Amino acid sequence: MTTFQRPELLMQRYGIVTPEQIDLEALAWLLNARVRYRPLDGCEAQIMGIRDRAIITIDDRGGAERARFSLGHEIGHWQCHKNQNLHCSKEVIGSTRDAGSAKEWQADTYSAGLLMPRYMFEPRAKSYDRPSFRSISELASEFRISRTATALRFVGTDPVYSILICYGPNGRNWFRKSRNWPSTLIPAREVGANSDVLGLLFERCTEARDARREPASTYFNGNDLQDEEVFAHAVRTGASDDPVGRSVMVLVVPVRSRLIELAERRSAW
Ligand SMILES: [Zn+2]
């Protein structure tokens, strides 16, 4: 891998201190990359790099938030994978798959670092007493980025305990945990019947305004956790009206630290 500047360092070098100052088109121009918007066939964004110059093309038919994340992704390729021609599909940009390519994961991480630099994101995230999609939505609005990308950034930078779980009609799709969340506390494949997740997936329930207390057993297996509770807030992802393609994310945090202590007592499986 060629040497590159970490996204936060790049933003600081150009004196960017507030979310509204984050202008990726201006940044691309400073990095000798020209940006254009037009419909693309078979991919959502692409970069053609030749020596010290690049042309980035973005298909912005998926909306402004999505186009910004795609532009950050291509700037990530330009910084990390110089002099390459890359075509990035809708499936790889902002992917939540566990088995994606390292290069695409690196470009996504770079994009999140440009759009939500840690030195701006972490102090704001910490200012909320208890994380939920209420706070995630406020951060998403301030940083002009999707709720999903913001939630992934939140969990990815959380110094304590949170987990984001996504469910589809067939059960758990994926999850992302904060770095200190115990590896012995993995969400069950099926969500408990009393969760808001099922109402959002299969009925026309509206999203709750904030997190609510639920038994930990709604999301995690194990008799040792039967007296424990979590704060959980479930919301729909995307805008799909198709029940088959619908998915719901839930942000879960412990009510008491005892949940984490009990999980840590389990031997690693
Ligand atoms: Zn890519």
Average pLDDT over all residues of the chain? 92
DSSP string, 87-154: EE-TTTTT---TT--HHHHHHHHHHHHHHS-HHHHHHHHHTSSS--HHHHHHHHHHHT--HHHHHHHH
Residue 115 Cα to ligand 1 middle (Å) = 16
Residue 181 Cα to ligand 1 middle (Å) = 29
Predicted TM-score of the model (pTM): 0.91
H/E segment holding residue 79: helix 64-80
pLDDT at 82: 84
pLDDT at 2: 42
Integer Cα distance of 267 and 132 in angstroms? 30
Closest by CA to 114, choosing from 172, 27, 175, 189, is 27
pLDDT averaged over 10-residue windows placed end to end, the chain, 269 residues: 72 94 96 97 94 95 93 96 90 80 92 96 94 96 94 95 96 96 96 93 91 97 95 85 78 96 82
pLDDT at 240: 57
Residue 129 Cα to ligand 1 middle (Å) = 36
Give the strand pairing for 33-37 and 85-88.
unpaired
pLDDT at 244: 62
pLDDT at 95: 82
Residue 88 Cα to ligand 1 middle (Å) = 4
Positive or negative torsion for Cα 123, 128, 133, 134: negative
Q: What angle do CA 172, 135, 66 make, to 5 degrees?
A: 65
